[in-house]
Amino acid sequence: MTVKHQQPAQQFDPLATEPGTAAAILAHTGVLLVALDPEGRVVYFNNACETATGYDRGEVIGEFVWDRLLLPEQVDEVKAVFDELVQKPVPNENENYWLTKDGRRICVHWFNSSIREDNGRVRWIIGAGLDITGKKRAQREIEEHAARLHAVVQTAIEGIVTIDTEGIIESINPAAERLFGYDAQEAIGRNVKILMPSPYREEHDRYIKNYLRTGEAKVIGSGRELMGLRRDGSTFPMELGLSEVLLPDRRLFTGVIRDTSERRLSEKRERERLAEHAHAARLAALGEMASGIAHELNQPLTAIVSFADACQNLFKKDKIPEDVIGDALSQISEQGIRAGNIIRRLRQFVKTGALDREIVHLNAVIKDVLAMVSHEIHMNEVDVKLHLGKHLPGVWADQLQVEQVVLNLVWNAIEATEASDLRQLDIETCKHDDTLLVKISDTGCGFTDDMTNLFTAFYTTKENGTGLGLSISHRIIEAHDGVLSATSNAAGGATFSFTLPIMEAMY
């Protein structure tokens, strides 16, 4: 069998076969075409050269190119390129400026070659050039912009970290290095999760994936308070501003981080100061009330004592004046009733006002309260676990008062865990017979005393406690026909539970 070898197609070269074609094409391309004699005098200067420089070819032909068109400081450099071409028949490239007739500079990228006699002597040096002034300027602007941006990022007091869509760190500025305790080389290429403590660390991958899939961002474009993790394992509160950078071929996320420890600390100090004031004010009010009560009770008590003394004296007489003793005894009884009224009025005063009932959803109350104390939860690094029952009916209650109870219990639980290694809070809601049950369990210090006085007013084991929180909570729950109770956890810590009746109509 014979195999036919296909001949390569004959190439047709119009530039070689049609004289003048090359020049005609080049005339339309905007390519600068210049030919020099072996000494460097211009012998050819095409239309594009005229347009670019503003010179007529008549003004340039016969002139040395370096005298007419080059910047004085570039003459040596260009002459070296020229000499190289004269010496060796190897095309080369260079970039240099030309000075136009009106004094502007244009930057040209040259492709240079030589045309030689048969004996190898140079006949012409040909330069084909592209005016890259615009490109150069754009490039310089980009470089300047990048340099400015770099300087801003490097000197910013905020930490700046960029990551790709996989969460891999692409850059980290000096402020972020200081904040997190990592060198840039160490951090770059690693997942940004190294800068986050739990639970953010676990959620982060899922969060990015979810965002890329749905475009729904919870934090992009908005500031967010969360915790940062340093290289040494310690954590600090921070504010994070995230933005997305859309590059032509990929996306980046930029995080701007501000350490808020100082601010948090001064806010905490401020709150403590306020709490101290409030405490002092409460004590002062209690003191005032106590002296008021003492004053008011003193009068009927003094009267009772003096009427009783008078009676005793009357009994010593030979003839006992029964009517006078009768008067005195009825005075004693009247004064006793007056004292009783004073005490009843006082109880009325202390009693919670009338209940302002509405349908209350306990899960929502719990979430609201947690939002109120989110700062303390963060600062004390308490891990809150919610076990909230689904589709629970509402209760018919005074929303504000129930909130107050939950706030008291959660607050106590946070305080109780302050000195614990494990700081956990479990909050559970469920239906229990015809009531809703709320359980707030902590891993705190537990009860130091026996628990008999827990719900008694003014019972406190805290240096700055008032001992009113639990007694008020107890009264509120009782007023709602519920029950508030406390138990010690087997593993340490305390559990407070309360029930609130579900209304018949709501089952």
Measured from the CB of residue 367, what is the shortest distance to ligand ADP in angstroms? 20
Interface with ligand ADP, residue 470, by CB under 6 A: yes
What's the CA gap between 434 and 427, in Å, rounded? 20
Among 402, 477, 494, 502, binds ligand ADP (CB under 6 A): 494
Hey, how many other C-beta atoms are within 10 angstroms of the C-beta on 380? Answer: 15
Measured from the CB of residue 444, what is the shortest distance to ligand ADP in angstroms? 5
Token pair, residue 133, equals 């002034």
Which string of x and - marks every residue 363-402 that binds ligand ADP (by CB under 6 A)? Answer: ----------------------------------------
Measured from the CB of residue 383, what is the shortest distance to ligand ADP in angstroms? 16
According to DSSP, residue 92 is labeled E
Among 61, 465, 479, 483, binds ligand ADP (CB under 6 A): 465
Q: Which is nearer to ligand ADP, 62 or 287 (CB)?
A: 287
Beta bridge partners of 96: 108
Q: Which is nearer to ligand ADP, 163 or 414 (CB)?
A: 414
Q: Using an 8 Å Cβ cutoff, are 77 and 57 in contact?
A: no
Total residues contacting ligand ADP by CB under 6 A comes to: 22
DSSP 3-state of 186? helix
Q: Which of residues 425-464 bind ligand ADP (CB under 6 A)?
A: 442, 444-447, 454, 459-462
Alpha helix (H) ranges present in 88-170?
Answer: 133-155
Interface with ligand ADP, residue 469, by CB under 6 A: yes
Among 229, 362, 413, 484, binds ligand ADP (CB under 6 A): 413
Beta bridge partners of 112: 92, 127
Q: Which is nearer to ligand ADP, 184 or 280 (CB)?
A: 280
Measured from the CB of residue 446, what is the shortest distance to ligand ADP in angstroms? 6
DSSP 3-state of 115? strand
199 upstream amide cis, omega within 30 of 0: yes
Q: Using an 8 Å Cβ cutoff, are 427 and 405 in contact?
A: no
Strands 383-388, 424-432: pairing kind: parallel
Measured from the CB of residue 275, what is the shortest distance to ligand ADP in angstroms? 11
Three state DSSP letters for 376-391: HHHHCCCEEEEEECCC
Measured from the CB of residue 361, what is the shortest distance to ligand ADP in angstroms? 24
Q: Which of residues 99-118 bind ligand ADP (CB under 6 A)?
A: none
Measured from the CB of residue 386, what is the shortest distance to ligand ADP in angstroms? 17
Measured from the CB of residue 449, what is the shortest distance to ligand ADP in angstroms? 7
Q: What is the DSSP string of 269-336?
A: HHHHHHHHHHHHHHHHHHHHHHHHHHHHHHHHHHHHHHHHHHHHHHHHSSS--HHHHHHHHHHHHHHH
Q: Using an 8 Å Cβ cutoff, are 457 and 467 in contact?
A: yes
Interface with ligand ADP, residue 405, by CB under 6 A: no
Q: Which is nearer to ligand ADP, 102 or 463 (CB)?
A: 463
Residues near ligand ADP (CB under 6 A): 408, 412-413, 416, 442, 444-447, 454, 459-462, 465-471, 494
